[in-house]
Each structure stands twice: as structure tokens, then as C-alpha cells.
Amino acid sequence: MNSPVFEEIDPASDCGCPGCARLHRPAPPSSPTPGPAAHRAVIVAAAASTALAASGAAPALATPHTPTRPGVPAGDEPQTPQGGKAPLHGPAGAPATPAAPVQLPPISRTEIINRAKVWVAAQVPYSMYAYWSDGYRQDCSGFVSMAWHLPGNEWTGSLGQFADRITKEELQPGDILLFHNTADPEQGSHVVIFGGWTDYTHTYYIAYEQTRPTTRRQATPYPYWSNASSYLPYRYKGVTDGAAGAPAGSGGTQKDAAAFPGAGSFGPGANNAHVTRLGQWLVERGGARFYTSGPGPVWTDADRRATQAFQRAQGWTGTGADGLPGPKTWALLVSGTGKDIPPAGTQGPAKPTPPATPAPPAALPSFPGPGAFRPGANNAHVTELGRRLVKKGFGRFYTSGPGPRWSEADRRAVEAFQLAQGWRGPAADGYPGPETWRRLFR
């Protein structure tokens, strides 16, 4: 089973100002060809418009964009009215509430995220009335119902019945952040799927959500852009790797049901919840001394050295102790078996063998200045930047290269890296500055 990969993208703006909100509304159904009376009404309306223009009156909907927070795009507070409870594919005369108790279908965290990604890739349009081809309503609560594979379309007032309240520290991919506005349930409520922390500070996370104009996935401040005190974390009761990786309601621990997520989840450029989990287990097994911060979702040399120390504690050598977890390493950590990492300085297989001639740390290349990275730039610094972005795991934008000529692929890769740092607005414009450069090459 493929594990979810959490890479940030910069979604299209969904500005909520009155002018843009009007453009986002679905067009009214087409009407028959107007008769003579309607034609006369059009003429009268046109004359009235001419008179207003002559008097200098401004149109009522010409409201300017008014972002209320620096560094946050206008419209990030969603305008998301929602429908009520309904069966799949819409009411169609069927009861919204099943006669028998609903059986919660079991589902893994990976499957929840993968189902959410389907709507992100399809760019499903937002609607509180329409139903997508899979049967789920195209609003925020329908999106969560789909990702959790619920038997019907729920709303923010009922999703909590399928979940348990958890804390911020317990959040894992596939959980939700729910705001049910009791004062105006259908207009002010919203719900998003938690996709993982962007870094160890736990101030930004990846949110999967259904909001205007289409399904999106982006770095979001915890708990949300607005109504911060109202969003509450919940965990689906049917998740098969629940409170700490155990079947929901089993009372197990994180180590009861965690399957190896695959070698691709670890190593340079990896950024996902499995890296965090690995680091936490290694700390429990004696590897705390390798970490100066975290553990977090971004793979670091601390993860590699702690993993290698654990592997050597088992008596493994060579490729068996390369610092990258495989199924055997993972199984020992999941089950809590095997030997712990001994304290620093003790004799035994866990003590790393130092190289004969330690290599000095590579010097951080000096930032060449912003002028080296602009449209038309053609220099070795652009090549160096692109190669570093590829090494860090942000090379998906390149179809060739990287090369010395600055391109849109370079800008998009830099922007994705900046968003992964939790930056927004002008700080994530795709053009490297001294801090972007320092973080890339540290």
C-alpha cells in the first residue's frame, strides 16, 4: 500500500470578497426565449443602467479585494454553505437516516488520504446541491464522508457521531478539524482533513478541504485561517490504525497494527508522518541523543544516525546497518522487540565506527544575491539551486535539467520548498532569498 506523501502546492485563489463570491456562484438555469413583455423589460433596464452611468453611481458589487491578514490570500476563510444529511447520489426519495445503526466501514489512514487526493486531482467543483460520480455531495462535509467512505452524506452536525474527540498532539493524517456553527449551521460551519504537519513546530499542517472553487490541498495554520478557537480535532472511529496505530476501539497501542510504509517513505527529501513516527520510536529505544529538535516529518541526518545505531544494536553490519529502515527494522520498532540503542560511549555493536579520516563539514555556499534568480538569468547558481531542490525532494517540476537558465520549473520548485517551510504570501513567491538559500543548503 502506498503511503501518503505530503508535498505543498499553491492552490488557485478562492477570494471570498462579494465580487468574487458572485462570480463563484453557479449560473442560474437558462430560461426560454423572452417574449415581448420581457423584451420591453430589458430595454427599460438598459435605459436605467445608462442613467446610472451618467450620474457616476458605482455598481454595488464593485467591492475591492480586502485581505484582512498579511501573508494570507484573500478568501481563505471559506464561504461554504452545506447540505444536510442525505444518502449517496442525493435524496431521490430515499430516507436520509437509516433504520438500523450504521456500521462503520474500516479504513486505513493511507486510504483516507488517497481518497481525498482523488478529488484534489479531479478538481471537483464546490456545490451544496450537486453529487460527484462517486455519490458524495460536493461540499465540505460530503468530502469528508467520501474520504472516510461513510455509507451516506453527513454534515458538520453529524460527523462528530462517527468520530472521537482527540487533542492537537494526537492528530495524524486522516483525522479532521471540525467547526460546527450552531448559530448558523448551514452557512458558517466547515470541516477539513488533516494531512500531516509541515514541520516539527506544529504551527502549519496540510489541509485537504472542499471549498470554493474546487477541492484543494495546501499548508494551513493550525487550527484554521479564521474562527481558530472553534475548530476541534476528531478521529474517525473506524480507522484501522487509530489512536496510536491500533484498530479503532481495540485499546491497543501504536505498535499493534502499523505496516511498513515502504522504503520510499524514508531518506533524503522524505517529508511525511512515517518519518515522525520512526523518530519517536527511536527516541523511545535510546536514540534521543541524536536529535537536537523534533523528531519531525522531514527526514534528517539525525533520523539516519539514530536508525543506524538501532540497526547496529541488533548486530547488523554493512547494508543491514545503512541507517535507512527496512521491513525488519520497522517490525522490531513496531513490536517493541529487539535490543535498545546503548548509551553513548558504551562498547558493543551499537557504537558507530568512525571513519579513518573524518571529512570536514561542507561549507554553505554563499547566497549570490536575488539578481541571480530572475527571468532571463543564466548562470551556474541557477543550476546549483535546481540540483539542490531535486535532492531535497522538490524536483517534480523539472521535465529536463536543472540547467543554468532560470525557468518556471525553478520558480515552482522554490515556491513548493518555501510553502513546505510554512511560509505564505510574499515569503513563498518562488524566488530564493538568503533564508531560502540557507535552508536549502544547510
CB neighbourhood size of 106 (10 A): 14
Joined together, the cell numbers standing for residue 429 give 513567491
pLDDT at 73: 45
Q: Are 374 and 432 in contact (CB under 8 A)?
A: no
The residue with cell 513516527 is 277
Q: Which of 308, 279, 282, 310 is nearest to 296 (CA)?
A: 279
Joined together, the cell numbers standing for residue 238 give 473506524
- Please report, as a single letter, which amino acid is at residue 283: V
**Three-state DSSP state, 218:** strand
Q: Which of 123, 117, 73 is nearest to 423 (CA)?
A: 73
b/e 225-264 (16+ beta carbons within 10 angstroms → b): bbeeebbbbbbbebbbbbbebbbbeeebebbbbbbbbeee
pLDDT at 254: 42
Rounded Cα distance, 231 and 221, in Å: 12
Beta strands 216-221 and 204-209: pairing type? antiparallel
Q: Are 206 and 217 in contact (CB under 8 A)?
A: yes
pLDDT at 376: 92
pLDDT at 372: 93
As averages over each run of 10 residues, the pLDDT of the chain (442 residues) reads 43 43 45 46 41 39 36 51 83 50 79 94 92 92 94 89 92 94 78 91 93 92 89 92 40 50 88 89 92 90 95 92 93 89 68 52 80 93 93 89 93 93 89 91 84
Q: Are 397 and 386 in contact (CB under 8 A)?
A: no
Q: Which of 418, 7, 421 is nearest to 206 (CA)?
A: 7
Q: Are 4 and 241 in contact (CB under 8 A)?
A: no
Work out the burial of residue 271: count CB atoms within 10 Å of its CB; fewer than 13 is exposed, 13-18 middle, 19 or more buried: buried
